[in-house]
Amino acid sequence: MMCDSLCPHYLNTSLPECLLLFVAWILFSLLSVAMADKRPEGVKMKREIGLVGGITFIAGSMIGSGIFMSPQFLLAYVGSPGASLLIWAVSGVVAMLAALSYTELGTVIPESGGEFIYILRIFGSFPAFFAAVTFTLVVKPFGASAMAMSIAEYATAPLYIDCPPPQQVVKCVAAVAILVVSIVNCLNVRLAVRIQVVFLVAKVVTLTLIVIGGVVELTHSSTVIVENLSVENAFKGTQVSLSTLGMAFYQGLWSYSGWNNLNYVIEELKRPEVNLPRAVVIAISLVTGLYLLVNVSYLTVMTPKELMSSNAVAVTWGNKVLGSWGWIMSVAAALSAFGSLNGTFFSGGRVCFVAAREGHMPDILSMAHVRRLTPSPALIFTTIISLVVLIPGDFQSIVNYFSFTAWFFYAITMCGLLYLKIKKPELPRPYKVPIILPILVLVAAVFLVLAPIIDNPQIEYLYVSLFIFSGILVYIPFIHFKLCPGLLTKLTLFLQLFLEVAPADKNL
């Protein structure tokens, strides 16, 4: 059983898709630099996000597909309910420590772009380019695709009661979800923020319903939870290896992904030195508490075997607790994942936007709509890559691929923070964390990157690494030496007029 669950099916077919994405990346790179001397006066993106908006973007991005899709995979990796709850708790602690470390970075370097801008300002252009390529072509699109697939799984579950929904149907619904979210984010920043607020309320209500349902079931019968979480049975069957532990943390931390979303949009955050740390602490504390209670509720009504065999664990829970009203959980889970997808798109478009503004991607992607003040070209580009990723992917392998690449760059970012703390102590720091925090996060990141490779090496991880570092073939001619045929200027101008966009200035 574990052999099947450990096999990254997506990665087995990823090499052709990686080559396809790399060719697309080269073509887009040929458009850069051409308009460097002909930029009109830029437009500025507004600071639309306050404390409430910051909380909703972090919590709203975190609470999504993970808590509804990952419990069965995580339990399958570690083998026991007690170990799975421990992984959920430790994942929340790691997310909190990492987010607090990023908060110091965000106040020292108050620019949008997340890992890309931090690596650029600390280590320089060359390593920052690899971060731009990876987050623009891998991390953000893969995260969006995984969330879209979870939306589709839950949205179609009530229509296919006796069997899993066909993959073609799931992927078509997922594609529609990506397109809808993309259109919303292209239209209006304030609309995207309001959607996050509304959907966060819906998510919290849904998770609270699951918690209350578990309590009610517990008052009726405690047999299942005693069997699952008693002293004798809680850790019975636990299977520990570097590979399975790393994969389990991939699934757990995937459910907390979004802890750094506010760092991608700091230039649109009001009073970041105050609102960023407050939003981080409030949002991650809320999410961690809810996740633990929800998992306990799952284990109140389902045995480990039932949980691991479920395609949609919240639907299985709903059918057992709510009976004929179990379909409500499908709708609630789909809406929850939709809100998370909205937050991922919002931040993902900003990574592409900032990388282009710094000259690491085509100039057209650094522009904002002249009236709506949204980075629509960057959002459209992210949409295209996310749709391409959907073609061969499945949820479990997409998450593993996402986590491996993301934590590689999280480790580099933590090294950057440690460098600033040791070598640049004189820099103004509106918010400061003890040095032990980034050290602990760095240790966790190195473990997450190396553990699956050391314990269970697979050629697919080599493909991932080669894809990341193949960016050097683009960086040297097109970024460093700025080779760009003059005729591409006309194409860039055409796209600028067609999309009604203009270069955007920094909003610091």
33: domain CATH number is 1.20.1740.10
Two structure tokens written together for 251: 């699934």
Cα Rg for the chain, rounded, in angstroms? 22
Q: What is the DSSP letter of 477?
A: I
Domain interval for residue 326:
11-502
The pLDDT of residue 45 is 61
User: How many domains does the chain fold into?
Assistant: 1
Query: Would you call 132 helix, strand, or coil by DSSP?
Result: helix
**Does residue 187 lie in a domain region?**
yes
CA distance 437 to 421: 12
Average pLDDT, integer, range 292-319: 85
Does 1 map to a domain? no
* CA–CA separation, 402 and 145 (whole Å): 10
Q: Around Cβ 127, how many Cβ atoms within 10 Å? A: 16
Q: Is residue 507 part of a domain?
A: no
Residue 3 lies in a domain: no
φ, ψ at 464 (rounded to 5°): -60, -45
- Read off the pLDDT of each residue in 379-384 and give the average, rounded to a whole number: 90
What confidence score (pLDDT) does residue 198 get? Answer: 83
Spell out the residues 6+ positions from residue 348 whose beta carbon is closer than 8 angstroms to its own: 135, 136, 140, 141, 143, 144, 264, 382
pLDDT of 39: 38
For 20-79, how does the pLDDT look when each residue is reduced to its tens digit (9 = 90+)?
A: 444 444 444 433 333 333 333 445 666 778 898 889 889 888 887 678 777 888 888 888
In a domain? residue 2: no
Residue 170 has pLDDT above 80, yes or no: yes
Distance CA 161, CA 149 (A): 18
What is the distance between the alpha carbons of residues 225 and 301, in angstroms, rounded to a whole number? 7
410-424: pLDDT as tens digits: 999 999 999 999 999
Mean pLDDT of 158-170: 80
Does the predicted TM-score (pTM) go above 0.85? no
| Tens digit of each residue's pLDDT (9 = 90 or more) over 106-148 | 999 988 888 999 999 999 888 888 888 888 888 888 888 888 8
Query: Has residue 420 been placed in a domain?
Result: yes
